[in-house]
Chains A and B, each alone.
Chain A
Amino acid sequence: MAWGRSARRDAAARGAAAALAAGLLALAGCASIPHGAGASPAAVNQRGPDGSTPLQWAVYGEDVAEVQRLIRAGADVSATNDYGATPMMLAAMTGNTAIIKLLLAAGASPESPNEEGQTALMLVARTGNVDAAKLLLRHGASVNARERFRGQTALMWAAARHHPQMMELLIDHGAEVNARSALYDYERHVTAEGRAKTEDTGGLTPLLFAARENCLACVDVLIAHHVDINLPDPDGYAPVTVAIMNANWDVAKRLILAGCDVNQWDIFGQGPLYAAIDVGDIASGGRGSNDPLNQATEHEIVHLLLERGANPNMQLFYRPKNRGFAGAGGLVSRGTTPLIRAAADGDVVVVKMLLASGADVHLYQADHETPVMAALSPQRGGGASEFRAVAVLRVLHAAGADVNVLSHVHPLKRTRGGTALEYATRLGWTRAMALLVMYGADVNAKDDDGLTALDYAMGRGYVPFLQTKHPPQWDLVKLLQGWGATVQLAKTPYWPPQGPPLGYAVYSPVIWPLGP
C-alpha cells in the first residue's frame, strides 16, 4: 500500500530512473556528437562512452532536422545505449510526435520495450501527449502491456501523472480500467533495535493511483468508464480511503457521491470515516489542515460519510501501519473508534457529528482508553489544547461518558494507563481536572501501578523513554487535596531507565475484549 506522497515509488520512480539514464547520457556525451555532412555510416552509429549514438542524442535534444539527417545517413533506429534506452524510448520520454513519426517511418518498433518491458506507450502516457500516443497506437502499440518491475500499465502511468485525456484515449483503445499492478509480498521483520519494519505492497489500480495523486478529472474518466470504485489494494485500502489518507478531499467526495462503499475497512480495521478523522487532524497541523488544493474539507467528508451510513462504531483491529508510534500512533491501538480519534484532536465539531450519528461514547480501546482519556492525550493524539479538550469533555459528559474507567498498562503503546483524572493531572490541566471531579471522578482511584492522581502531582509517575522525572507540582497537590485526595504512596517508586521497546512477544494486552 502506498498512502503517502513520500512513498510514491511506483510510476513516478520508473520515470525518474529513465530520466536519470538520459541525464547521465547528457553529461557524458556532449562533445562526442559527430557533426558535419560527410559522416560515414560507421561514424553515424559511433557510440559515445555510455553507448549512445548520435541519433539518440539528437532525439534526446528534440532536434528534428538532425534526426532526419542521421536517419537518412543510415543511423540505426533500434540501437540501445548502455542503459538499454533506444531512440524510440528517448523520443517517448519527451513525447515529441514529429520524432516518433520519423522513427516509426524508419522502422523503429512502436513498443521498443526496455529490459523491464517498459514500452514507449507507457513513457508517452506519462507525458500526456495524446497525439504521440495515438501515433504509437496506430502503429500497433499494445495498450495493456505491463512493465515487469511493478507490473504497471500505460493507463496507470497516465493516472499517476494527471492525464485524463490520455486515459480516455487508452481506455477507448481497450485499456483495462481495473488492472492491478504487481503485488510485492515483502516480509516484515523486527530489526536489531527491536522495531517492526514494513514495506509497500503495491497492487494498485488506475483508480488507486488517481485517488492517491488527487486527480479528480482522472477519477471522473474512470467512473465514466465503469471502473469498480470499491476495488481495494491488497491491504484492503479502498480508493476512497486512499484519497482520504492523502487528504485528497475532492476525490474522496466524488467517490462518495458516486456511491462507493462507505464502510469498507482495511486489514487494520480502518474505514474511510476513521481515516478522514485521523488525517484531518486539524488541531495539530496534520496533512489535512492546510490544503489549498481542495474545495471539500475533512468536516464535509465526515458529514457525507455519516450521512451515507458510515458506521461510527467500527473499531480498529490494530494500529494502521501508516501510523508510527509518534503522534497519533501512540494513542491508537486495537479498539480505537472514530470518536476516540476525534476526541484526541480536540475536534468538538466532529465529536458532535459522531455522537449525533450514534457513536457509542462507552466504547474503549483494548487497554480501556476511552474518548475522555483520548481528549486528555494531546501529546499522543494531536495538538489539542486544554481549551479544546475541555470543550470535548463537556460534550462527552453530556453524552453520558463514564469518567471513572481505568485504563491499563499497554506495552506496545508504552503507556501505563490510569484514570482520566490522572491523565489530566499528568498534563497539569487544572480546568480539565476540576471538570472531571465535578463529573464525579474518584480522586483516590489507583491505577495498575498503584498510583493515584496525587502521586502523579507528587512526581511519582512512570518515566517514559526520553523523558525526565517530574518534580512535585504543589499547586496540583493542593487542588487535589482540596477535592478530598488523601491516598498516596509513601515514597516515589523506582522506575528503571527505559530504552526503545523490546519484547514484542506479548499478546494479551493487544487483544483484550473491546469495551464496555
Chain B
Amino acid sequence: MRRLSRRRFLRGGLEVLGAAASTGAALHTARATALGAPPQGAPGAAASISATDLIANDRGAMTLLTGGGCNVVAVRGPEGSLLVDGGLAASSGALLEAAAAATGNARVSTLIDTHWHPSQTGSNERVGREGGLIIAHEVTRLYLGRAALSSCYPGSYGPLPAVARPTKTTRDRDSLEFAGQHVDYVYLPAAHTDGDLYVHFPERNLLVAGGPVLGDTWPVLDIRNGAWVGGLVQAYETLASLARPDTRIVPANGPLVSGAEIARRRDIYQQLFKQLFVYFNKGFGADDVIAARPLKAYEAQLGDPARFLDGAYRSLFLAYVPD
C-alpha cells in the first residue's frame, strides 16, 4: 500500500512550497500581490543599504551592497559601474544610490543578473532605461519576458518591460573586460533555477556564486523552473574547483563564504545526493526524508534544512520520471 503524505507546509522559508498550486483561490489572490512591484511605484524608501569594501585600500573599487533583497557587488568603472545583481525593485532606488556613492559612478554601465528571480532583477528597468548593458543567461531573458510562476515566491513575476530585459545573453559561458580586469560569467545548469550564472573575478580572487549559495543557510531550489539537486551538487563541484581555500565567495544572501567552506559544502551535498537515492529506493516521501534528518550534523551551523530537503527530494521525482 502506498503512503500518502499531505503536502508539507514548511517553516522558516520565504514562502510556502507549493502554495501557488494548492488552491485556486490562493493563486488567484497571490497574482495580485506579486513580488517585485514596478520600480516606478516604489521609491525604495524602506530599504536600508549597507556598503562594505571588498578590496582593501581601494575604496569603491569593489563594494558589497546588502539590504536590498540580495547581495549586490558594485565595481567602479571608467564610464559607469558594473553591478552583479540588482536587488528587489522596491529597493532599486536606494541600491543604485548606494552603488553610485560607493563607486563614484553616476550610472551603471553593465548589470549582470545571476538569475531571473525578483530579488536579483529589480534594478533591470532603471539600468535599462539609462542605456546600461544587461547580461544574463538566455533562460533569464525568456523568463523575464512573461509572467513566471515559481516555487520560490507566491503568485507570478513579470513580464518586465522590454527595456528591463537582458540585452546580452549566453547559454554557456562568456567573459568581459571591465576596468582592466577579466570577468567570467558562466552557466550553472539546473542549480537554483534553470538560468543561473556565477560571476568570477579571478584577479580579485572573488567569486559571485548567485542563487545556489546562501551564506549561512541551506539554498532554495526553484523546482518549478528546472532546479534539481543534481544540478546543485554539480554547481558546488564547479565552484569548488574554481575557488582556492582563501577565495571569497559572495552568496545570493548572507555573509561571504570561503573557498574552503564551499569545498566542505560540496562534500555535504555529494553525500546527501547519494543518501537521497537510498531514500528514493526505499519509497520514502519528502516528509520521511525530513524526518530522517540526513543533515543533522550541520543543522547547528546552517539551520533547519526541511525546506531545502523537501525541494531537493521532490526534484529527484522530476528528473527520474517513470519508464
Given A190-B320, A234-B18: A180 and B226 within 8 A (CB)?
no
Q: Is the CB of A318 within 8 A of B319?
A: yes
Q: Which residues of A contact B194 (CB under 8 A)?
A: 269, 317
Q: Taking the nearest CB of chain B, how far is it from the CB of A427, in angstroms? A: 23
CB distance from B23 to the nearest CB of A (A): 5
Kindly list chain B residues whose C-beta atoms are within 8 Å of the C-beta of A195: 322-323
Question: Which of these, B226, B281, B284, contacts A187 with CB under 8 Å?
Answer: B284
- Mask of B252-295 contacts with A, CB within 8 angstroms, 1/0: 00000000000000000000011001001111111000000000
Min C-beta distance of B166 to chain A, whole Å: 15
Given contacts A233-B21, A267-B318, A511-B230, contact A196 B323 (CB under 8 A): yes
Which segment, of B24-32, B36-44, B101-109, B125-133, faces chain A?
Answer: B24-32
Contact indicator B319/A178 (Cβ below 8 Å): no
Given A189, A412, A511, which contacts B189 in the complex, CB threshold below 8 Å? A511
* Contact between chains at A268 and B190 (CB < 8 Å): no
A314 interface hit (Cβ, 8 Å): yes
The minimal Cβ–Cβ distance linking A453 to chain B, given in whole angstroms, is: 28
In the complex, what distance in Å separates the CA atom of A263 from the CA atom of B321?
A: 23
Interface-forming stretch among A101-109, A111-119, A197-205?
A197-205
Contact at B223–A267, with CB atoms within 8 Å?
A: yes
Interface members, chain B 1-35 (any A CB < 8 Å): 2-7, 18, 21-25, 27-28
Nearest CB in chain A to that of B194: its residue = A317
A189 to B147, CA, bound (A): 32
A184 near B22: Cβ-Cβ < 8 Å: no
A69 in contact (CB, < 8 A): no
Contact A187 B321 (CB under 8 A): no
In the assembled complex, A507 has its CB within 8 A of some CB on chain B: yes
Q: Decide: A179 near B321, CB < 8 A? Known: A504-B280, A511-B234.
A: no
B171 contacts A516, C-beta separation under 8 Å: yes
Contact B281 A176 (CB under 8 A): no
A269 in contact with B226 (CB, 8 Å): yes
Contact with A along B46-60 (1 / 0, CB 8 A): 000000000000000
Q: How far is the CA of A500 from the CA of B286 in the complex (A)?
A: 26
User: Which interface class (under 10, 10 to 19, 20 to 34, 35 or more) fits A?
Assistant: 35 or more
Contact at A228–B321, with CB atoms within 8 Å?
no
Report which residue of B24, B224, B231, B274 has the largest number of chain A beta carbons within 10 angstroms of its beta carbon: B24
The A interface is mostly helix, strand or loop, or mixed, namely loop
Is A236 close to B, CB under 8 A?
yes
* Chain A 302-331 interface mask (CB, 8 Å, partner B; 1/0): 000000000101100111110111100100
The answer, yes or no, to whether A508 is at the interface (CB within 8 Å) is yes
For B5, B194, B223, B323, the residue with the greatest tally of chain A CB atoms inside 10 Å of its CB is B323
Asked if A180 contacts B321 (CB within 8 A), the reply is: no
Q: Which of A176, A198, A228, A231 contacts B317 (CB 8 A)?
A: A198
CB of A387 within 8 Å of the partner chain: no
A511 proximity list for chain B (CB < 8 A): 189-190, 228, 230-231, 234
B242 within 8 A of A: no
Residues A324 and B323 in contact in the complex (CB < 8 Å), given A180-B23, A180-B24, A187-B3: yes
In angstroms, Cα B317 to Cα A174, docked, is: 38
B274 touches A505 (CB 8 A): yes
Residues of B within 8 A of A318 (CB): 228, 318-319, 321
Q: How far is the CA of A512 from the CA of B6 in the complex (A)?
A: 33
| Residues of chain B lying within 8 A (CB to CB) of residue A185 | 4-7, 285
Q: Is B233 an interface residue (CB 8 A)?
A: yes
Known contacts A183-B22, A511-B231; A314/B142 CB under 8 A: yes
- Which of chain A's residues have a CB closer than 8 A to the CB of B323? 195-196, 324-326, 329, 500-501
Contacts of B234 in A (CB 8 A): 507-508, 511
Is the CB of B146 closer than 8 A to any CB of chain A?
A: yes
Q: A196-B320, A507-B230, A511-B230 are in contact. Are A189 and B283 (CB under 8 A)?
A: yes
Choose from A187, A233, A311, A504 the contact partner of B285 (Cβ within 8 Å): A187
Shortest distance between the CB of B151 and any CB in chain A (Å): 9
- Which residues of chain B come closer than 8 Å to A321, judged between CB atoms? 318, 321-322
Chain B residue nearest to A185 (CB atoms) is B7
Q: Does B149 reach chain A (CB closer than 8 Å)?
A: yes
| Least CB distance, A130 to chain B, in whole angstroms | 25
A39 within 8 A of B: no
A231-B27, A231-B28, A236-B224 given; A183·B321 CB < 8 A: no
Alpha-carbon gap, A231 to B321, bound state (A): 24
Residues of chain A contacted by B224 (CB below 8 angstroms)? 236, 267
Cβ contact of A198, chosen from B5, B27, B281, B322, cutoff 8 A: B322
Chain A, 490-516, CB within 8 A of any chain B CB = 500-501, 504-505, 507-508, 510-516
For B18, the closest partner residue in chain A by CB is A234
Between-chain CB contacts (< 8 Å), 17 pairs: A176-B24, A179-B24, A187-B3, A189-B280, A196-B322, A232-B21, A234-B18, A261-B147, A311-B142, A317-B228, A318-B321, A321-B318, A504-B277, A505-B273, A505-B277, A511-B228, A516-B171
Residues of B within 8 A of A (CB): 2-7, 18, 21-25, 27-28, 142, 146-147, 149, 171-172, 187, 189-190, 194, 223-226, 228, 230-231, 233-234, 273-274, 277, 280-286, 317-323
Shortest Cβ-Cβ A-B pairs, 8 listed: A507-B230, A187-B285, A317-B226, A234-B21, A189-B283, A180-B24, A178-B24, A325-B323
